[in-house]
Structure 1
Amino acid sequence: MPDRHPDTTPDRHPDTTPDRHPDHNTPHLPDGHPRRALRLGVAGPVGTGKSSILATLCRELAGELAMAVVTNDIYTDEDARFLRSAGVLPTERIRAVETGACPHTAIRDDVSANLDAVEDLEEAYGPLDLVLVESGGDNLTATFSPALADAQLFCIDVAGGGDVARKGGPGITGADLLIINKTDLAPHVEVDVAAMVADASRARDGLPVLALSRHDPASVAQLTDWVRELLVRHRSGTHVPTDPGPMAPHSHSHSHDGS
């Protein structure tokens, strides 16, 4: 006997999950989530373009990854407001930490305020794939504690001079990725980008160096592919956080401005 009451109820929970890997030429991420998101620290001197890098990563990856951001400034929430106004993520997923002290204090010496912000975001909006933690602007020795960041990239830029990479410091020599930013400005400041990359590569003993301009799609693609590959290793358990090394003896007689 035919069913007199066929089930014509529409699916109340259709699968509307977007394709997280629309570009099959990029590294695929395995199914499932790790115990928590990958936490990627972004450090570097004042004005090198850290906030711009965060904005670029959010624009490029937010369509395929669940993301959140924590920014650090000494007395303001300037960087968080910049990212919110740029519309790169829902505003509630961008949190500001006002360190009230030298930026390295909150990313290395006492990471509790940043950890609280990261964990609050994961609890409120999880499961997340990636949380970006931006340091306030500091010097060439600033590094993240492995207790806060699973990996870290360090940012310098061509406007700081072509010799910056040769000056070393744990951020330059030991970060998981060194970015030489704003390469589109090199002709205007008379910097040889290839020579700067070569200097950085020698200082880093084989660790990766990326010459980046947000106006250059090829270099942006290299950055996002690096993040995707790092996330694959994080999820598989093959990425082991390393400590680039402690900061050099550091005087607080100077000031840090913004990031």
Structure 2
Amino acid sequence: MTAARVGIGGPVGCGKTALIEKLLPELAKHGIETAVITNDLVTDEDAERLRRGGQLPANRILAVQAGACPHTVIREDPTLNMAAADRLEETFPGLDLILIESGGDNLASTFSLDLVDWWMFVIDVGGGGDIPREKGPGVLQSDLLVVNKSDIAPHVDVDLALMLSEAQAVRAGRPVLATSCRREAGIAEIVAQLRREVLFS
């Protein structure tokens, strides 16, 4: 049985790596064996951050250096990520889930369905309440839209309820979740979505 592959994309600074840090213990609580692939332009910075966190064995976290726009290795030519995922599955045959984090990209970033079975797109309140109205492909096409940093909405003059309502409207009923990594809000709900939609557990 192969591991499910789930993409996590979104703009620079939206909190993708922080979200993974919060997801890992929640996944472990449900007995879900997980590995991670990070993508950065020319560094392994995100992978090193996750390794320092110690929530997974270091060899379960692989880094892919895109060497170009981050979307190229998750959409146009995802073979580097596919090879990394295959390597993880060969090394750890009991894996249930591989999280593939895109390097920070723009609202047009999407994942190839040759690479992932399901993908989420992360935006953050600090980027502005109008992001859903811009209708970027990531916002519209992802299986789950995550509106992160919900706790800072009052401090950046964003009406969170309106932002979520507009996100739900442009996504025509596809799921939208608000999260705050600092407060660990919404994390259990993401894992519930993964269990239901991807892992069927």
Structure 1 79/206 Cα, relative in aligned 2: closer, same or farther at 3 Å?
A: same
CA distance in 1, matches of 2:34, 2:165: 33
Q: What is aligned with 1:38?
A: 4
| Alignment partner of 1:205 is 2:166 | no
Q: Does the Cα contact within 8 Å between 2:4 and 2:199 map onto a contact in 1?
A: no
Question: Once the 2 structures are TM-superposed, how far is the Cα of residue 218 of structure 1 from its aligned partner?
Answer: 4.9
Secondary structure of the corresponding residue to residue 114 of structure 2: coil
Q: What is aligned with 1:31?
A: none
Question: Once the 2 structures are TM-superposed, how far is the Cα of residue 156 of structure 1 from its aligned partner?
Answer: 0.2
Question: Once the 2 structures are TM-superposed, how far is the Cα of residue 139 of structure 1 from its aligned partner?
Answer: 0.6
Cα offsets for 1:182-234 (capped at 9, x unmatched): 0111111111110000010011001000011124445222111111112344x
Question: Once the 2 structures are TM-superposed, how far is the Cα of residue 159 of structure 1 from its aligned partner?
Answer: 0.3
CA distance in 2, matches of 1:181, 1:136: 17
Any residues of structure 2 matched to 1:179-194 within 5 Å, and which? 179-194=146-161
Q: What is aligned with 1:75?
A: 42
TM-score normalised over the length of structure 1 = 0.75
Q: What is aligned with 1:214?
A: 181
CA distance in 2, matches of 1:44, 1:214: 15
Q: Does the Cα contact within 8 Å between 1:40 and 1:130 map onto a contact in 2?
A: yes
Any residues of structure 2 matched to 1:155-194 within 5 Å, and which? 155-194=122-161
Structure 1 72/232 Cα, relative in aligned 2: closer, same or farther at 3 Å?
A: closer
TM-score normalised over the length of structure 2 = 0.96
Any residues of structure 2 matched to 1:78-97 within 5 Å, and which? 78-97=45-64
Question: Once the 2 structures are TM-superposed, how far is the Cα of residue 176 of structure 1 from its aligned partner?
Answer: 0.3
Query: Structure 2 unaligned runs (5+)?
Result: none
Cα offsets for 1:72-130 (capped at 9, x unmatched): 00110000011111112111100000010000110011111100100100100112100
| Alignment partner of 1:195 is 2:162 | yes
Q: What is aligned with 2:100?
A: 133
| Alignment partner of 1:54 is 2:29 | no
Runs of 4+ in 1 over 6 A off after TM superposition: none
Q: What is aligned with 1:153?
A: 120
Question: Once the 2 structures are TM-superposed, how far is the Cα of residue 55 of structure 1 from its aligned partner?
Answer: 1.0
Aligned length: 200
CA distance in 1, matches of 2:8, 2:139: 12
Cα offsets for 1:28-81 (capped at 9, x unmatched): xxxxxxx31110000000000000111111121124111100000011000001
Structure 1 102/217 Cα, relative in aligned 2: closer, same or farther at 3 Å?
A: closer
| Alignment partner of 1:120 is 2:74 | no
Query: Structure 1 unaligned runs (5+)?
Result: 1-34, 236-259
Q: Which amino acid aligns with 1:48?
A: C
CA distance in 2, matches of 1:226, 1:217: 16
Rg larger for: 1
Q: What is aligned with 1:244?
A: none
